[in-house]
Amino acid sequence: MPEDFEQELSSTWQRPETTTLGAFFNARQPEGSELSGVLLISQPREAFRARYAFAGQAEHTLDLQYYLWKGDTTGRLLLHQVFQAADRGVTVRLLIDDIFHRGRDVSYAAIDQHPNVQVRVFNPMGNRGLAKQANFMVHKSKLNHRMHNKIFLADNAVAIIGGRNIGDDYFGIDPKLNFLDLDVLAVGPAAQQAGEAYDLYWNSTKAVPIMALLDKPPPPEALAEMREELELNLGDVLDKMPYRVPLKDHELQEALLSLAEELSWVEAEIIVDPLDRFDGREVSKFVLLGERMAEKVEKEMVIQTAYLIPTSEGIDVIRKLTERGIRVRVMTNSLQSNNHISVHAHYMKYRKALIEAGAELYELRADNRLIEYYKQIDSRVADAHAGMHTKSFVVDDDISMIGSYNLDPRSRIWNSEIGLLITGEAFTQKVLESMNEVFEPQNSYRLTLNEKGKLIWSGEGPSGIEVWTHDPGAGWWRRALARMISWLPIENEL
């Protein structure tokens, strides 16, 4: 890695109240309060429309921080909207993690050619070619630390925080797999806290300008060619989207007014891992938060996590909660719905212990009701199945967390994460309502033990509740592969 690259410090817009978005939401904030406005975004189409609309309304800054940004339909549409904002004079900062972006340096450098756009790569690997993965193995202790944070921030006035990356499978139009996920839209103090979290990572020495990674810059015409290609089929792409995106001023204004009516004004706090985690000097903020919530809970804790490897320590925490009379409900992916079979392979070892510790354990059905709904309205997803990507929890009736943290070693040990902790009964009930829908037997399997102490799965079938004695929907080869992977000593990497 070069050590002499120039890195100019910068910050998000410091006067959000002077922007159209900031003034609009400030006028609706309860007078004299420091509360934040929040809105749950559970539907994939609304998650995309919100990002597209707010990028279209940004006036000063657009700050984007993502683990993964795909070059598919929704990724390209949002990139086009980013360029439109930059053309208006908006300062755009794009901070992307390096782990899944092999071979895209030239594309990022072309984006960076726009005078109002800067692209930085977080904790990049020095070798950018074929030896990139070998480089990862040699320098694993450093390069295993990844930025899993996800922030979409317009004018430091409106932030979207949650589990979604940028890609078709997060927004309901992927032909193979579409995720259930949760985001939260935040305005007011919580949005400004998200801006502080963004600046912390953007100004880190680990956020390397894309041009520092290239031996030579892309040709001067690279940006123009990229934009021409993006715009060539833009109209057709928008026409083929299974849902409309707000494009015109009156549509955007109507969307804003509708959104403002649905906001809950609550106490909200951004939880973000410190950069010291990458030097091994800090414990995950989410581990500390979990300990705090375990002490605070009085009645019930509900957890939905895409990837679940609880460890023996986590099992002990759950046992202590249930012994106190706390109801603990946990949901994760089934073998059929999990897009990372290696994670499922090591989670399987804890299923029986979780149930014996008193947890109510559920796994998402790949053929759940939501994916069936999308199959009816969009032929492209006719053969797709569902997966869970949600990372959220609810404590009692008034505390909820929506963010990027999974209950697995990767989030606990290696990744940096972010989330929004919200205290407010009305909003928390909306989160709980969304979570409860996924717990229903047509959407998930309930795992229990039979009289012989063996795992069984129950869920709704054509003739009522059915019972399975092995992972439902997964063929023998997938089950055998998961079993073989579970023997590998890789749990702390997952």
Six-digit token string for 208: 């390397």
Q: Rounded to whole angstroms, how far apart are CA atoms 428 and 423?
A: 8
Determine the pLDDT at residue 177.
83
Determine the pLDDT at residue 244.
73
Task: Look at residue 465 and give its three-state secondary structure.
Answer: strand
Determine the pLDDT at residue 241.
75
Helix (H) or strand (E) holding 395: strand 391-395
- Give Cβ neighbours of residue 71 (< 8 Å, ≥ 6 apart): 104, 107
Amino acid (one-letter) located at 111: I
Q: Let me know if residue 277 belongs to a domain.
A: no
Neighbours of 273 (CB within 10 A): 27
Q: What is the DSSP string of 68-80?
A: -B-SSHHHHHHHH
Q: Let me know if residue 16 belongs to a domain.
A: no
Determine the pLDDT at residue 243.
72
The one-character DSSP state at 412 is I
Instruction: Show the domain range for 434.
Output: 282-493
Does residue 317 sit in the same domain as residue 457?
yes
Determine the pLDDT at residue 171.
93
Q: What is the DSSP string of 142-198?
A: HHT--B---EEEETTTEEEEES--BSGGGTT--SSEEEE--EEEEETHHHHHHHHHH
Determine the pLDDT at residue 216.
87
- For the segment 74-83, what is each residue's pLDDT rounded down to a tens digit? 999 999 999 9
Q: Let me know if residue 83 belongs to a domain.
A: yes
Determine the pLDDT at residue 129.
64
Determine the pLDDT at residue 1.
67
Does residue 254 sit in the same domain as residue 352?
no
Does residue 345 sit in the same domain as residue 483?
yes
Inter-residue contact 267 to 424 (CB < 8 Å): yes
Enumerate residue ranges in the chain where pLDDT < 50.
Answer: none
Does residue 250 sit in the same domain as residue 299?
no
Determine the pLDDT at residue 141.
66
Does residue 149 sit in the same domain as residue 294?
no
Q: Let me know if residue 6 belongs to a domain.
A: no
CATH of the domain at 206: 3.30.870.10
Does residue 250 sit in the same domain as residue 377?
no
Neighbours of 370 (CB within 10 A): 19
Q: Let me know if residue 200 belongs to a domain.
A: yes
Into how many domains does the chain fold?
A: 2
Six-digit token string for 445: 């399997």
Q: Rounded to whole angstroms, how far apart are CA atoms 405 and 212?
A: 30
Determine the pLDDT at residue 288.
94
Determine the pLDDT at residue 452.
94
What are the residues facing 211 on neighbouring strands?
none
Does residue 195 sit in the same domain as residue 297?
no
Does residue 191 sit in the same domain as residue 301?
no
What are the residues facing 157 on neighbouring strands?
none
Does residue 228 sit in the same domain as residue 291?
no
Does residue 257 sit in the same domain as residue 298?
no
Q: Let me know if residue 417 belongs to a domain.
A: yes
**Helices within 72-221 (DSSP H only):** 73-87, 105-112, 132-138, 140-143, 189-202
